[in-house]
Copies of this chain bind each other. A is one copy, B any other.
Amino acid sequence: MTSINNLEATDIINKAIASGQTALSEYDAKRFLLHFGVPISRETVAHSADSAAIEAKRIGFPVVLKACGANLFHKTELGGIALNLSAAEHVRTEGERLLKIKGCEALLVQEMVIGERELVCGMTRDELFGPCVMFGLGGIFTELIEDVVFRIAPLTLDDAREMITEIRTQKITDSFRGQPAIDVDLLSKILVALGQIALQYEQVHQIDINPLKIRPDGKPAAVDALVVLKGSESDSEKHLAEPKRLVSSFSTAKEDLAPFFEPNSVAIVGASAVSGKPGHEVIRNIQANGYTGKIFLVNPKGGEILGLPVHPSIESLPERADLAIIILPAKICVQALSDCAAKGIRHVVISAGGFAEVDDSGARTQQKLIEVINEYDLRVLGPNTSGHISTPHNFTSSFFPLDKIQRGKVSYIAQTGNFATHTMKHILTAEHFGVARVIGLGNAIDINESTALEYLAEDPETDAVIIYLESFKQPERFLETARKVTRKKPIVMLKSGTTEAGKRAAVAHTASMAGEDRIVDGMLRQAGIVRIRDYTHLILAGKALSMVPLPQGNRVSFLAPSGAMLVVLTDLCIRLGLEVPALEPHSLQRIQEISPPFIRMRNPVDIWGAASTQGVEFAYREGMEAVLADSNIDAVVPVLMLTKETALPSFDFIVELAQKYPEKPIFVTFSGEKQYADECKAYLEPRGIATFPEIEQPFEVLSILARCRRFMER
């Protein structure tokens, strides 16, 4: 076991490729990995049974003997492994047997690594996400137990450390059956190294280390290793190009998107006089929002619409505009886009659907749009988008009737149009919060999730970002930006469409386990983005981020008028990773004071006794203040009991408490009559207090916010 240098590592790869190998032999794979700090089992190659026996004695019994050959895979199935040989005589017998296996060119003589714990790690190249590193529970049950996590290369040491804590069976890293804890530092370095290899050696297509055994002293050792070389999986290149071709070649440069959000003039191409038509409603929306820039309308029919003159063509506009909104059928969008370019308009929203999302003909039209974008260096939002919103500039390109849109400090990036249509209506009317920027990406041929996030990263109007995405266009670029953004602005993402992709058929463990959902999961953790699964949570998280600061941590107090709710909600907190800590003595004393003496008070707070003896308002006010003042508590959830019979409280005390404790979110929910819950919501939300109709929701949202905080502070 001699150390080898970088040149030698490269040499191993080059020689194998030169001789037409699709993978390194196990021996070469390990020598290669050793160079990057991956500890391996003591082993050597022997070319005869006799010399294997001599080498075995040198290594020390018991040993493992493996058939070795450049094109010998599936050793186990071929009977090409002899374990636990404890005498030279056995090594000779087994060695002779192995050498007769077809493809066996030599014998690998290996120490029999002792250790019960088997891990797995590896690297695979995803066609969209690029090289990914895997870590998990290994051994022959790897695919059965499926306890693996992924990260996108390159990994920081912190990424690697987090991976190790993320597997379900994380306890395996602690001391186990009398053996010490695993050397997590060394393990982390191995994971980082796998990512580095991926970036340094394009020729290395996949790596599997399975098992990575843990020796009795807690040190890992690669007992088996597979290094697959490029070109060995014929389909890998075929897939690679496709998604890229649908993206403008300029989208990789950081561009100024300001004209979309702060246009001094806008041209509406396809303006319509007919109420209800998109080309009409977009004008109404712009006017309703109090946009103060110039509005140019274009329609060959000419005339006047909503008090504005209509120009017959783009060419005939009196001046260039900062932004054009093209609301025309798909087929004539290409010409309109060229006309915009000719007029000097470089920023364009294309609303029409009917492109690549529909059929091949649409895809070809879309390709033509990309060609125009590339030719004239344009910035395009869409096609197939219902538009965007920029409340600080009183502007929108949405063609769905929205009236005046409330201004707020949360921005949305959405692959779907409905965040600028009926979902926006829901947000405005049901949840009482406003937005800063909304960007409907549509088919994202130019502006995509990455460019949009880069803009919002620097946008002083945006304090937090909510994202709905079905697919990434530029995941690596997105990751790079998001990593930085999430240290200052929380990002919450709903990534959908992930349950359909099943596992892939592949020789290597790492590749077979690399489902899109797992990779996205790892990437979003790496990026510091909180991933959620429910549509409703995206809206509610938006509301929370609009109305309250991020809590300092995950420590919750709640007050409920029912023992059952206290128990159920405590269960829920534990499931959600929220703590329900003990209170400080003085706050405990206070809540005990307001309660009948026979109820022994604690956190969570059983407010029934106080409410029924001292009145609902007094009980909640005093109880909430006690826990808000407690330094063990980061956020407070009152489950307000609202029934006519128990006397309805005024809700001002909640507003006052929120002002007095501005750093601690107060999330209100209800038990009792719906009418009063609705009234309370209608009173509190415009005053900046978030309420939630279902009693689980405040906790679900607090869990999201606490995760945002954790990412921000790491």
Which A residues have a C-beta under 8 Å from some C-beta of B? Answer: 76-77, 84, 116, 137, 140-141, 144-145, 147, 168-169, 171-172, 176-178, 281, 353-354, 358-359, 362, 400-401, 414-418, 421-423, 425-426, 429-430, 468, 470, 494, 496-500, 533-536, 561-565, 567-572, 574-575, 598-600, 641, 643, 645-646, 670-675, 677-678, 693-696
In contact, A494 and B568 (Cβ under 8 angstroms): yes
- In the complex, A400 Cα to B574 Cα: how many Å? 31
- State whether A571 and B468 are in contact (beta carbons under 8 Å apart), knowing that A144-B171, A561-B422 are contacts in the complex: no
Bound CA–CA A671/B535 (angstroms): 11
Residue numbers in B under 8 Å from A567 (CB-CB): 470, 496-497
Q: How many copies does the complex hold?
A: 2
Q: Is the CB of B674 within 8 A of A564?
A: no
User: Which of A571, A599, A646 is most buried by chain B, counting CB atoms within 10 A of its CB?
Assistant: A571
Contacts of A76 in B (CB 8 A): 177
Contact yes or no, A116 B140, CB < 8 A:
yes
| A535 touches which of B116, B418, B565, B598 (Cβ 8 Å) | B565
In the assembled complex, the Cα of A535 lies from the Cα of B77 at a distance in Å of 52
CA distance A76 to B116 in the complex (A): 13
Pair B533/A671 contact, Cβ less than 8 Å? no
Residue from A362, A417, A564, A643 having most chain B Cβ neighbours under 10 A: A564
Task: Tell me, rounded to whole Å, the shortest Cβ–Cβ distance linking A562 to chain B.
Answer: 4
Considering the chains assembled together, what is the distance between the CA atoms of A497 and B401 in angstroms? 48
Contact A422 B671 (CB under 8 A): yes
Partner of A641, one of B77, B422, B430: B422
Q: When the two chains form their complex, are residues B564 and A415 in contact, meaning their CB atoms are under 8 A apart?
A: yes
Q: Which residues in B have their C-beta under 8 angstroms from that of A353?
A: 598
A643 pairs with B494, CB closer than 8 A: no
Determine whether the beta carbon of A571 is less than 8 Å from that of B499. Answer: yes
23 contacts between A and B (CB under 8 A): A76-B177, A137-B141, A144-B171, A145-B168, A145-B169, A353-B598, A362-B598, A422-B643, A422-B672, A426-B671, A426-B673, A429-B673, A429-B674, A494-B568, A497-B571, A533-B572, A534-B572, A535-B565, A535-B695, A535-B696, A536-B694, A536-B695, A693-B693
Point out the residues of chain B lying under 8 angstroms from A673, CB to CB: 425-426, 429-430
Is the Cβ of A177 less than 8 Å from the Cβ of B418? no
B418→A565 contact, CB < 8 A: yes
Q: How far is the CB of A382 from chain B (nearest CB, A)?
A: 14
With contacts A562-B418, A565-B535 known, is A496 near B571, CB below 8 A?
Answer: yes
Which B residues are in CB contact (< 8 Å) with A569?
535
Contact between B499 and A568, CB atoms less than 8 A apart: no
Q: Hey, which chain B residues are within 8 Å of A169, CB to CB?
A: 141, 144-145
7 cross-chain pairs, A with B, having the tightest CB-CB distances, nearest first: A416-B564, A430-B674, A401-B645, A418-B562, A499-B574, A536-B694, A496-B567
A575 touches B144 (CB 8 A): no
CB within 8 A of A564: which of B84, B418, B563, B570?
Answer: B418
Given contacts A418-B564, A422-B646, 16 further A-B contacts (CB under 8 A): A76-B177, A281-B645, A401-B643, A416-B562, A422-B561, A422-B641, A423-B562, A426-B673, A496-B564, A499-B574, A533-B571, A533-B575, A534-B568, A536-B694, A536-B696, A693-B693
Chain B residues closer than 8 Å to A426, beta-carbon distance? 670-674
Chain B residue nearest to A560 (CB atoms) is: B418
Asked if B561 contacts A418 (CB within 8 A), the reply is: yes
Give CA–CA (A423, B144) in the complex, Å.
Answer: 44
| Beta-carbon contact of A400 and B564 below 8 Å | no
Tell me the complex Cα distance, A678–B141, Å. 52
CA distance A423 to B641 in the complex (A): 9
CA distance A91 to B533 in the complex (A): 58
Residues of B within 8 A of A674 (CB): 426, 429-430
A486 CB to closest chain B CB (Å) equals 23
- The chain B residue sitting closest to A430, CB to CB, is B674
Nearest CB on B from A472, distance (A): 15
CB pair B496–A425 under 8 Å, yes or no, is no
> With the chains together, A570 CA to B116 CA distance in Å?
41
Report how far A501 CA is from B453 CA in the complex, Å: 44
Contacts of A600 in B (CB 8 A): 358
Question: A599 contacts which chain B residues (CB < 8 A)?
Answer: 358
- A185 → chain B closest CB, angstroms: 22
Report B-chain residues with C-beta under 8 Å of the C-beta of A678: 678
Bound complex: CA of A560 vs CA of B565, how far in Å?
34
Q: Judge whether B145 and A570 touch: CB under 8 Å.
A: no
**Taking each of A176, A178, A562, A599, which has the highest tally of chain B beta carbons within 10 Å of its own beta carbon?**
A562
Indicate if the CB atoms of B696 and A425 lie closer than 8 Å: no
Give every chain B residue within 8 A of A571 (Cβ-Cβ).
Answer: 496-499, 533
Distance to closest chain B CB from A615 (angstroms): 11
Please report the C-alpha to C-alpha distance between residue A675 and residue B500 in the assembled complex, in whole angstroms. 35
Tell me the smallest distance from the CB of A117 to a CB of chain B, in Å: 9
A55 CB to nearest chain B CB (Å):
22
Is A414 within 8 A of B564, CB to CB?
Answer: yes
Nearest-neighbour CB distance to chain B for A282, whole angstroms, equals: 13
Could you tell me the distance between the alpha carbons of A415 and B675 in the complex, rounded to whole angstroms?
27
Contact A499 B575 (CB under 8 A): yes
Choose among A362, A536, A672 the residue with the greatest number of B CB atoms under 10 Å from its CB: A672
Instruction: Kindly state the separation between the CA atoms of A413 and B84 in the bound complex, as whole angstroms.
Output: 61
Q: Shortest Cβ distance from A81 into chain B, in angstroms? A: 13
B residues less than 8 Å from A401 (CB atoms)? 643, 645
Q: A629 vs B314: C-alpha distance in the bound complex, in angstroms?
A: 50
CB distance from A436 to the nearest CB of B (A): 20
Find out whether the CB atom of B425 lies under 8 angstroms from the CB atom of A672. yes
Inter-subunit contact A568/B645 (CB<8 Å):
no
- Output the least CB separation between A279 and chain B (Å): 14
Chain B residues with Cβ below 8 Å from A675 are 429
